[in-house]
Amino acid sequence: MGPREREIVTRSTQPTFDRAYFDTWYRNPHHRVHDGGVVRRHAALAVAVAEFLLEHPIRGVLDIGCGEGAWRRGIRALRPRARYLGLDPSGYAAGRFGARRNIRHGTFGDIGSLPDLERFDLVICVDVLHYVAADEVERGARALGRRFHGVALLHAFTRDDDVEGDPAGYMNRSGHFYRRVFRAAHLLEVGLGFWVGRAFPGQLASLEGLRGR
């Protein structure tokens, strides 16, 4: 993959994903970066793209870095029968909402250990990867490239973006870093943050895959 890009971390301390964290960034009107309307629209886009490319309704959704499960409501409003599984490094989120919202303790790097990764049609990892160490990004991407049969929405902010949110532990990387890691894992970019792996069963038209970008 070539030389590793030097990672610029805006603050050395890592965020603590406890209840106070979610109160600050999801509920406090002075700091809140979470917008339910944006999540619903993004969920509708993700479902539409996955079903267009797979040519069938989605049956399972894996939400990595799901927090308290904000995407779950948007997904279930569209596909109430679809299985939803959330993974999050927050012991608070998994402990409080695990049973009700099917949230487990886990990270992006853990997805290769899921025995049923192949059964998910849609993987969501939104606004998470810029807080994840490079080796973990690479490990999770390899699992998707090798085993995943569906469509993945892998959204991260880069140093070219104006960012709102918690700066603790933020990895100020370039977009080239993510594309290099994902392509090395044999993921193919299909636009707007969506990727498919080598196990993807469908056929993409030549202009649907962003080869060479």
Average pLDDT score over residue span 57-67: 97
Q: What is the C-alpha to C-alpha distance for residues 101 and 67, in angstroms, rounded to an integer?
A: 11
Q: What is the C-alpha to C-alpha distance for residues 59 and 74, in angstroms, rounded to an integer?
A: 15
pLDDT at 5 over 50: yes
* pLDDT, tens digit (0-9, with 9 covering 90-100), for 92-104: 999 999 999 999 9
Q: What is the C-alpha to C-alpha distance for residues 89 and 107, in angstroms, rounded to an integer?
A: 6
Q: CA geometry: angle at 186 spanning 182 and 187, to 5°?
A: 55
Pairing of strands 194-196, 188-191: antiparallel
Q: Where are the extended beta strands (E) located within the chain?
A: 60-64, 83-88, 103-105, 122-126, 151-155, 188-191, 194-196
pLDDT at 1 over 60: no
Measuring CA to CA, which residue among 152, 157, 169 is closest to residue 53?
Answer: 152
Copy the structure tokens of residue 172: 């100020």
Query: Going from the N-terminus, what domains does the chain have, and what CATH number goes with each?
Result: 27-196 (3.40.50.150)
pLDDT at 126 over 70: yes
Predicted structure pTM score: 0.86
